[in-house]
Amino acid sequence: KSVVYWMRMGDLRVADNRALSLASLRAHKLGVPLLVLFILSPQDYIAHDRSKRRIDFTLRNLEKMQRSLAELHIPLDVWTHPLRRTLSSAVISYLKRMGATFLFANIEYEVDELRRDISICNLSRADGIQATFVHDKCVIEPGVLATKQGKVYTVYSPFRRSWEQELNANPHYWKKAAELQPNAKSIYESELYGPLFNTPVPSSLEGFELSEKEKENMANFFPAGEDAAVQVLQRFLTTKARASQLGAVSPLAPDAKENSKESRVTNYATDRSRVDKDTSSRLSPYLAAGVISVRECIRATMELKKGFNKAKVEVSKDSGVGVWVQEIAWRDFYVHVLAACPRVSMGRPFLEKYADVVWEDYQEEPERREKEAIKAQEGQAGNPGESVRRWKEGMTGYPIVDAGMRCINEMGWVHNRLRMIVAMFLTKDLMIDWRVGERYFMENLIDGDLAANNGGWQWSASTGTDAAPYFRIFNPYSQSEKVDPAGDFIRRFVPELASLKGKDIHKPPPHIADKLGYPRPIIQHEEARTRALRRFKNPGES
Ligand code: FAD
């Protein structure tokens, strides 16, 4: 007999993992071994546009986990299942084969995953296996917070106020899950369970391989493992050191002058929108993959300062820590929206009234893509396929947009403000359907997460939860001056503009851009803005 914990892509850690911890307690109580299962499901990854970088990060973390679990004599059994349709029955067969009477897992809130887990519940019941799915992803689980009318919050600010109140009324929200109990050493002698220790985690998955160079870059930017995640968090909270110092490759040249004792979080309230400095934590890949628990982030902020009330989570706007915790609340917010509104998992706009907004005609079917490529080769600029291609490559002629896109292409990560700038440029200036951008981000980001990515895209496209109406349209030039005043970020990612001084770096004069081989703007912002306002005012009309 045994107890199985089924680990999924969003909970790659041993510490403070609720389902794993419960599974361990149960196994200990029954005196049977705990087994950990991870299933690679390539069809799911294709269906959900999972990036190669995210898969690589998953495998790197699994490899670390396999070692830390082995220290507790717990096997991590990783196998690939090719057909997503039959995944539930494959899990049940596995449980039966392993003599499991209990299955534990953390809930995944996306529609496909919920359906799969419901089918697991039904199948397991028929076989006398008790399946338990628990909340772990958020600080406060979906379903707890409601408006006075008993509805889910769809606007962030009131959500955040209610989140703060609930959090501070119930310390259990940041309580750490119980430590794991080791398996008895005799597990190695078991004919059934012993061999589970002998299958190593594969270093790549067919169809999702990164080049050796890229693999190395990713390992430098975002080293795997729970220790690395804690280090990234602690560096952000307690030192001025750049997150990127953990890796050999820095997105910006190291700045030796930055030796102040203040930590990055101290300045977060004032600096967080700056992209020319290392202002944020860069914890998102770790949080998206669950390499660190979000509760640990909350606890760490509480440990931080003597002045803070240790029994209270700081969520105010007046301190860097408080503003940073508000970002964690944004993460919860989008998961709550996703859990309550399944349509956002299905490619529908959150605000149904914008379902008919007319986007430029661009579809990504393979045939279409081929046709667009041919047109582009023929130099027919201005067609939607060409503008999407130039947006993806960072060749729009808007330096801050291009720098942001090239940063994503190189690192698989970019600062939040740049995500907003490039997303708004695609949807409002180029009038390209947000789903095209959402998909490109998922395919390229190392931290790709449906709730946060969809939330961010729909917010930027004004089809989502933004409390401001559709006429919030960023001006890419003034944004550029605000977030990268001296142009250092642009110089790093758009090196052809490195020689430009002053305001020219934000808006290169056409004759100079021509000389430097940098494209002229793909579209005039003011004209594009007028078009976007017209189309949003009258959905269905172009
Ligand atoms: P910090 O500023 O240090 O924030 C700490 C943590 O809070 C982040 O790691 C993240 O987990 C969470 N967080 C911060 N801002 C947000 C936000 N706006 N929404 C949700 N969570 C937030 N984040 C993802 O994790 N995955 C995505 O796929 C993703 N796609 C996005 C797409 C768009 C168009 C936009 C505008 C935002 C997207 N975000 C996404 C949110 C945000 O940009 C990143 O979480 C943030 O840039 C990560 O950097 P950091 O870890 O240094 O953040």
280 annotated as a binding-site residue = yes
Closest residue by CA, ligand 1 atom 14: 327
Tell me: pLDDT of 258 over 90. Answer: no
250 annotated as a binding-site residue = no
> Would you state the pLDDT for residue 234?
87
165 close to 153: Cβ distance less than 8 angstroms: no
Band (pLDDT 50/70/90 cuts) for residue 271 is confident
Length of the chain: 542
Question: Is any atom of ligand 1 closer than 6 Å to the C-beta of 460?
Answer: yes
Question: Is any atom of ligand 1 closer than 6 Å to the C-beta of 421?
Answer: no
Q: What angle do CA 244, 247, 248 make, to 5 degrees?
A: 110
Tell me: pLDDT of 250 over 50. Answer: no
> Would you state the pLDDT for residue 138?
98
Band (pLDDT 50/70/90 cuts) for residue 106 is very high
Which of 51, 331, 434 to mutate for ligand 1's pocket (most ligand atoms within 8 Å of CB)?
331
Tokens of 25: 């307690």
Band (pLDDT 50/70/90 cuts) for residue 183 is very high
> Would you state the pLDDT for residue 304?
80
Tokens of 161: 């106020």
Q: Give the pLDDT mean for 498-519.
A: 96
CATH class of 212-343: mainly alpha
Tell me: pLDDT of 262 over 90. Answer: no
What single DSSP character describes residue 94? H
Tell me: pLDDT of 118 over 80. Answer: yes
Active site members = 327, 330, 359, 416, 434, 457
Complex ipTM, two decimals? Answer: 0.99
More confident residue, 324 or 278: 324
> Would you state the pLDDT for residue 474?
94
Closest residue by CA, ligand 1 atom 45: 284
324 annotated as a binding-site residue = yes
Tell me: pLDDT of 541 over 90. Answer: no
Cα–Cα distance list, 433 to 365, 397, 436 (Å) = 14, 20, 6
Tell me: pLDDT of 49 over 60. Answer: yes
Contacts of residue 29, defined as CB under 8 A and 6 or more positions apart, other chains included, come to none
> Would you state the pLDDT for residue 239?
74
- Gap from CA of 86 to ligand 1 centroid (Å): 33
Nearest atom (ligand 1) to Cα of 437:
34
> Would you state the pLDDT for residue 148?
93
Tell me: pLDDT of 253 over 60. Answer: no
Q: Give the pLDDT mean for 277-285.
A: 90
Band (pLDDT 50/70/90 cuts) for residue 308 is low
Question: Is any atom of ligand 1 closer than 6 Å to the C-beta of 271?
Answer: no
136 close to 163: Cβ distance less than 8 angstroms: no
CATH 1.10.579.10 fits 348-537, yes or no: yes
> Would you state the pLDDT for residue 419?
98
Residue 5 burial by Cβ neighbours in a 10 Å radius (0-12, 13-18, 19+)? buried
Which of 252, 327, 422 to mutate for ligand 1's pocket (most ligand atoms within 8 Å of CB)?
327
Contacts of residue 95, defined as CB under 8 A and 6 or more positions apart, other chains included, come to 4, 103, 124, 127, 129
Residue 262 burial by Cβ neighbours in a 10 Å radius (0-12, 13-18, 19+)? exposed
Contacts of residue 374, defined as CB under 8 A and 6 or more positions apart, other chains included, come to none
> Would you state the pLDDT for residue 372?
52
- Gap from CA of 214 to ligand 1 centroid (Å): 22
Candidates 476, 407, 417; CA nearest to 445 is 407
Of the chain, the percentage scoring pLDDT greater than 90 comes to 76
Question: Is any atom of ligand 1 closer than 6 Å to the C-beta of 415?
Answer: yes
CATH of domain 1-136: 3.40.50.620
- Gap from CA of 452 to ligand 1 centroid (Å): 7
Band (pLDDT 50/70/90 cuts) for residue 309 is low
Q: How far apart are CA 83 and CA 91, in angstroms?
A: 12
Residue 135: CB atoms within 10 Å: 17
Give the start-to-end residue ranges of the domains of the chain. 1-136, 212-343, 348-537
Q: Give the pLDDT mean for 442-454.
A: 97
> Would you state the pLDDT for residue 246?
45
Tell me: pLDDT of 396 over 80. Answer: yes
> What tens digit of pLDDT does each residue of 459-502 get?
999 999 877 777 889 999 999 999 999 999 999 999 999 999 99
402 annotated as a binding-site residue = no
Tokens of 29: 């109580």
The answer to which of 58-67, 226-235, 377-386 has the lowest mean pLDDT is 377-386
Question: Is any atom of ligand 1 closer than 6 Å to the C-beta of 301?
Answer: no
